[in-house]
Structure 1
Amino acid sequence: MMTNSDQYYSFWSFGVFFFLSLCPSFGLNIDGTLLLSFKYSVLEDPLSFLDNWDYNDATPCLWTGVTCAPDMFRVISLVLPNSKLIGSILEELGFIQHLHTIDLSNNFLNGTLPVSLLNASELQVLSLSNNAISGELTESIGGLKSLKVLNLSVNAFVGNLPQKLSFLQNIKVVSLSKNLFSGGFQFVEVLDLSSNLLNGALPDNFDGDSLKYLNFSSNKLSGLVSPQFAKKIPANAAIDLSFNSLTGEIPESIDLSNQKTEFFAGNTDLCGKPLKKLCTIPSTPSSPPNITTNPPAIAAIPK
């Protein structure tokens, strides 16, 4: 059964391609027309990076920030980081059929992520860090079948992490730090979820075989670092659990013992070898004294 967002996406997709089919064959190609929609949505371009984006060109392959496949003049890359662009990301970008890379990091883009962009099946790199993009990261992200790198750090995303993020078989690097995410999490090779609102306990069961770097610092994680969690951490993986509310003794495993001390700092009730802080041994109640039925001897009181 189609959701409202799916119906909207299907209607929008049909409308865009119907409009493009009416464009004259001798004008700018489809990918260029879609990119121009993004240009016109940009409110300010102080460094004039988009000045040579012109409708009179046959293709956008010589435009600033645009790369085309050499054999078919189709856009495969849009890279405009640090360009001080002010605007939003339109649905049209998601309809560029062979787009492999989008890097619009370190700009002033706002609004939400369009559904079409999360259904771009050939997209491999999506980097939108250091912008002002808000809203939830929806389950539509499951449409990014080819995604390898996802960097949405330093934005204003909210809500739970989508479960379908863990279903993306090709993904290797996920950086979602400094947002307002909460809920659960899954594992890849590199996962940075620092400075969010993650709460609850560390999971005892997760697929961490490929993990090389995990950063959960500056969240609201609580409870024990269980031996089951420790066993799932691969050798030589870096695990940053600093500045949470974790408690108890850090399990004595080779992987955790080799972590830097600062990776456990800021958890006031955490102790163990990596912190060089001994754990308090709880005292056990002593055995009660033997009680006899004989009455105690009473010394004679002199007159």
Structure 2
Amino acid sequence: MAVAVLLQLAVVVQLLCAVVASALNQDGILLLSFKLSLAGDPLGSLSDWGYTDANPCSWNGIVCDSESRVVSVVLPNAQLVGPVARELGFVERLRHLDLSGNALNGSVPADLFRAPELRVLSLAGNGLTGPLPEPQAGQLRSLRALNLAGNALSGAVPRNLVTLPSLTAVSLAGNFFSGEVPGGEVSPALQILDVSANLLNGTLPADLSGAGLRYVNLSSNRIAGGIPAEMAARLPANVTIDLSYNNLTGAVPTVAPFSTQRADAFEGNAELCGAPLERLCSFASASAVEPPRNGTKSPPAIAAIPQGPHH
């Protein structure tokens, strides 16, 4: 603990000295705090980040607006080692933050959600751990795409994450999230929800609804029980749903959107039966209802959420 405190003090002292010695603007100072917090930059991706510039607009991975304010920090696959600095959340006009495919560790700092104009946030493919902070009222109102897949995050999925007003795509796949699948109504803007390959348990939420949903991936979890027919009335008929490799039981409801999925959307559930599976049910399931007269065909599954343009 003492060593960590001393390291933090050393970073602060370096920053204070830099502020006195240079004319670097506030955004640049905040970005340098991120650089100084890192334990490694083996590719030298941040080698041109320094105190002598008036602003960081010429630095690798940085894009500014016409007023020399940082709007984009894009440094994927740069082999950066260390934590995600909380100071990044104070870059006031930051819209696009992509630090995916690095070796970042520690937790997702709650202050990261303070960036008022953040639209794309990707920290996928790192070694981040711990719970995901719950966005506070008024935060992340501009966020459109969130990709935290392929980390080691744990705890419950924050319920208000899927109600953010502008969010269109979220992937939390390949982590250690546990607890139940968030139920209730998601944001009308949300189209892609991927929480596959986690440790989610409990039952499917019968009240899950969202008018804009196009792809919902709940595969490779520990979800048990039947598939509630009530979900069909609350989900778009053309949504693609993947429920494979869980512990689901009973009959697949014979109504869209469940009746229009491919068989592999339900495979890996040993006690699930009924079309489109080849395994027939030997009993009448209360969850099965009559199909509509005009069923619609599901679109192909969406493989990835939007990352935004790389600069």
Match of 1:230 in 2: 232
Q: Alpha carbon RMSD of aligned pairs, Å? A: 1.9
Q: For the residues of structure 2 that align with 1:139 and 1:192, how far apart are their CA atoms?
A: 18
Q: For the residues of structure 1 that align with 2:64 and 2:241, how far apart are their CA atoms?
A: 39
Q: For the residues of structure 2 that align with 1:136 and 1:185, how far apart are their CA atoms?
A: 15
Structure 1 gaps of 5+ residues are: 1-15, 283-303
233-242 or 177-186: bigger deviation: 177-186
Residue aligned with 2:224, SS: strand
Q: For the residues of structure 2 that align with 1:279 and 1:193, how far apart are their CA atoms?
A: 28
Residues 1:119 and 2:114 are matched in the alignment? yes
Map Cα deviations across residues 204-248 of structure 1 (whole Å, 9 max, x no partner): 112221111111001011111121012223122110000001000
Cα contact 2:22–2:51 (8 A) shared by 1: no
Cα contact 1:120–1:144 (8 A) shared by 2: yes
Residue aligned with 1:274, SS: coil
What is the one-letter code of the residue matched to 1:93? L
Identity percentage over the alignment? Answer: 46
What is the one-letter code of the residue matched to 1:207? S
Q: Of residues 76, 80, 85 in structure 2, which corresponds to 1:90?
A: 85
Match of 2:133 in 1: 138
Q: Of residues 1, 13, 33 in structure 1, which corresponds to 2:29?
A: 33
Residues 1:57 and 2:59 are matched in the alignment? no
Match of 2:218 in 1: 216
Match of 2:279 in 1: 277
Match of 2:3 in 1: none
Deviation at 1:163, TM superposition (A): 2.0
Map Cα deviations across residues 149-180 of structure 1 (whole Å, 9 max, x no partner): 11111111111111221331111101001111
Cα contact 1:207–1:232 (8 A) shared by 2: yes
Q: For the residues of structure 2 that align with 1:38 and 1:180, how far apart are their CA atoms?
A: 26
Q: For the residues of structure 1 that align with 2:159 and 2:211, how far apart are their CA atoms?
A: 19
Compared with structure 1, are the counterparts of its residues 141 and 152 closer, same or farther at alpha carbon in structure 2 (3 Å cutoff)? farther
Match of 1:262 in 2: 264
Larger Rg: 1
Residue aligned with 2:257, SS: helix
Compared with structure 1, are the counterparts of its residues 102 and 141 closer, same or farther at alpha carbon in structure 2 (3 Å cutoff)? farther
Residue aligned with 1:262, SS: helix
Deviation at 1:277, TM superposition (A): 2.1
Deviation at 1:281, TM superposition (A): 2.9
4+ runs deviating over 4 angstroms: none
What is the one-letter code of the residue matched to 1:135? G
Q: For the residues of structure 1 that align with 2:246 and 2:229, how far apart are their CA atoms?
A: 18
Residues 1:185 and 2:185 are matched in the alignment? no
> TM-score normalized by structure 2?
0.80
Q: For the residues of structure 1 that align with 2:264 and 2:136, how far apart are their CA atoms?
A: 34
Deviation at 1:139, TM superposition (A): 1.8
Q: For the residues of structure 2 that align with 1:230 and 1:254, how far apart are their CA atoms?
A: 6
> TM-score normalized by structure 1?
0.82
Q: For the residues of structure 2 that align with 1:281 and 1:164, how far apart are their CA atoms?
A: 39
Q: For the residues of structure 1 that align with 2:143 and 2:39, how far apart are their CA atoms?
A: 29
Residue aligned with 1:126, SS: strand
Residues 1:150 and 2:150 are matched in the alignment? no
Deviation at 1:134, TM superposition (A): 0.8
Cα contact 1:61–1:75 (8 A) shared by 2: yes
Cα contact 1:129–1:151 (8 A) shared by 2: yes
Q: For the residues of structure 2 that align with 1:268 and 1:67, how far apart are their CA atoms?
A: 51
Cα contact 1:42–1:86 (8 A) shared by 2: yes
Q: For the residues of structure 1 that align with 2:260 and 2:120, how far apart are their CA atoms?
A: 32
Q: For the residues of structure 2 that align with 1:25 and 1:83, how far apart are their CA atoms?
A: 29
**Matched residue count:** 263
